[in-house]
Structure 1
Amino acid sequence: MNSKRLQEKVLLDYVDNYKRNKKTIILAGGCFDLFHPGHLEYLQGAKKLGDILIVGINSDNSIQSIKGQPPLFSLEERVAILSSLECVDHLLVISELTLVQAVKTIQPHFFVKGIDYQGKVFPEQQAAKEIGTKIKLIGERKLYSSTQLKKSYER
């Protein structure tokens, strides 16, 4: 399978080229462990905002820090799943706990989060505001939670 995962330096070369060619760049992110229909809706909705969808995918270690437990699926397995999606153009592995640095480095036209962030403050907001990146919330309501799905399978 052709992986869409790129090293940051290579990705930034692509980003520069896309911007020169007036392409609209969208940045999304997540753990994507136990991939479900809500993830698909989120990524497809993000792609509709422009031309190039870059997805920041959390490393195994960052998921351990965020969730307090290791991911069910390894980084390579999650990369394979996301690489198979037509709506995803590129993947960037995120070792940090947030996408603040990715927002600052990539400087996308749009940074997207799920609708469950409506009315919440999140770290990437300030970085996006400073560089003029628009924030869009995707979805109508949160129907799925990987964490809750995992818990229901553990019973």
Structure 2
Amino acid sequence: MKQSEKAILSIMYVCQIEGKEVFEVIRKKTMFSEDLINSKIDELIKNQLVNNDRKTLTDIGRNSLCVVLAGGVFDIIHPGHIHTLNAAKKLGDVLVVVVATDNTAVKMKKRRPLHAQEQRQELVNSLSMVDLCLIGQEDDIFKTVNHVKPQIIALGYDQVHQEKFIIEGCKKIELDAKVARLQSPIPESSSSKIQKEYGESIHGI
């Protein structure tokens, strides 16, 4: 499959999740002409990768994409996050990131996040390697997993989720997904540590 066709399929997948109008997003992201976009979509329909509605993927089209799902609080974006998300993106074609809700963040970090969940979503969405950022579900993380249906779930080096828990949860929703534990070159880097050090430096002035 040509890279341009893979890009269009990836955009269609993201637009389906977000409920956005496909054609305008393709034109904005690819800079292709209207005629070129239409000819490529015609080809994708011919190859049974896109439905006749010209905006949704067939099962074959969806299965041709490798979607990677990663999650976290992402309260203060630091080099460890960037490395981890870059590594996650290299595992597939589309990287979907889920940011924890404010309430979930409190449970995980034992403190209120500096940035509200919508702000953290906007921050992560602005990162070049991220195709889509969603706000997670508080009661059941597998609701989001089932919505995204990733082939790979990428866990950061410091995330508390156990691979066994993720695998068993995926089995319950009948999703065949692999779990990848990503390493960080700066394991001592964390949002909590940065916040603590910043606070100490302010008090020391």
Query: TM-score range, shorter-chain basis?
Result: 0.7 to 0.9
The answer to whether 1:136 aligns with 2:176 is no
3-state SS in 1 of match to 2:114: coil
Alignment of 1:21-100 (within 5 A): 21=61, 22-96=64-138, 99-100=141-142
Which of 22, 34, 57 is the aligned partner of 1:17? 57
| Residue of structure 2 equivalent to 1:5 | none
More strand by share: 1
1:64 Cα deviation after fit: 2.0
TM-score w.r.t. the length of structure 1 is 0.78
Which of 134, 158, 162 is the aligned partner of 1:116? 158
Higher relative contact order (CA 8 A, sep 6+): 1
**Cα distance in 1 for residues equivalent to 2:16 and 2:160:** 33
3-state SS in 1 of match to 2:118: helix
Aligned identity (percent) is 29
Q: Provide closer, same or farther for how the CA distance between residues 91 and 102 of structure 1 changes in structure 2, counting only shifts above 3 A.
A: same
Q: Which runs of 5+ in 2 are unaligned?
A: 1-14, 21-55, 201-205
Which of 112, 116, 125 is the aligned partner of 2:167? 125
1:96 Cα deviation after fit: 1.7
**Cα distance in 2 for residues equivalent to 1:77 and 1:120:** 28
Partner amino acid for 1:11? I
Q: Is the 8 A contact 2:84 2:183 kept in 1?
A: yes
More helix by share: 2
Q: Provide closer, same or farther for how the CA distance between residues 18 and 33 of structure 1 changes in structure 2, counting only shifts above 3 A.
A: farther
Q: Provide closer, same or farther for how the CA distance between residues 12 and 81 of structure 1 changes in structure 2, counting only shifts above 3 A.
A: closer
1:139 Cα deviation after fit: 2.0
1:89 Cα deviation after fit: 0.6
Number of residues paired by the alignment? Answer: 146
TM-score w.r.t. the length of structure 2 is 0.61
For each residue in 1:61-110, what CA deviation from the matched residue of structure 2 results, as whole angstroms up to 9, or x when unmatched? 22123222211112232122212111111111113276333223322100
Q: Provide closer, same or farther for how the CA distance between residues 143 and 92 of structure 1 changes in structure 2, counting only shifts above 3 A.
A: same
**Cα distance in 1 for residues equivalent to 2:58 and 2:75:** 29
Q: RMSD value over aligned CA atoms? A: 2.9
1:26 Cα deviation after fit: 0.5
